[in-house]
């Protein structure tokens, strides 16, 4: 039985970006799991990742509108590595517009 092209592409992306690589580079576990599930259901990798990014940005804008910018920061930026200095813990400045800019 031949494997569908979308399945071959999905498996190739998962080999190139295994879960430990996604998590090690700061991706939230829930987002990484959702990305894999979406790709396994036939969604193109880039489309699935874009949808997750857009959802996180919406959550970030909502959190920014509701309260302190630091609460919203988690939706815009990956958490810093455990060895990061205090200065690098906030690599993005969140503006009232809801857009982040790297320092």
Helix, strand, or coil (residue 29): helix
Work out the average pLDDT over 3-25: 92
Provide the sign of the torsion angle of the four alpha carbons 82, 64, 58, 50, taken in this order.
negative
Instruction: Read off the pLDDT of residues 58-67 as tens digits, 9 standing for 90 and up.
Output: 888 887 787 7
Sequence spans of domains, the chain: 5-102
The Cα diameter of the chain in Å comes to: 55
Residue 13 pLDDT more than 80? yes
Classify residue 26 by burial, with Cβ atoms within 10 Å: 0-12, 13-18, 19+.
exposed
The whole-number pLDDT of residue 8 equals 93
First to last CA, the chain: 52
Q: Report the chain's mean pLDDT, rounded to a whole number.
A: 77
Residue 52 pLDDT more than 50? yes
Q: What is the pTM of this model?
A: 0.65
Provide the sign of the torsion angle of the four alpha carbons 81, 84, 88, 94, taken in this order.
positive
């Amino acid at each position: 039985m031949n494997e569908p092209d979308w399945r071959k592409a999905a498996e190739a992306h998962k080999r190139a970006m295994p879960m430990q690589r996604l998590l090690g580079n700061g991706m939230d576990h829930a987002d990484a799991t959702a990305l894999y599930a979406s790709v396994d259901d036939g969604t193109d990798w880039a489309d699935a990742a874009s949808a997750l990014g857009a959802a996180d940005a919406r959550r970030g804008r909502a959190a920014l509108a509701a309260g302190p910018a630091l609460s919203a920061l988690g939706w815009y930026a990956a958490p810093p590595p455990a060895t990061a200095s205090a200065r690098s813990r906030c690599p993005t400045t969140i503006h009232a517009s809801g857009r982040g800019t790297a320092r």
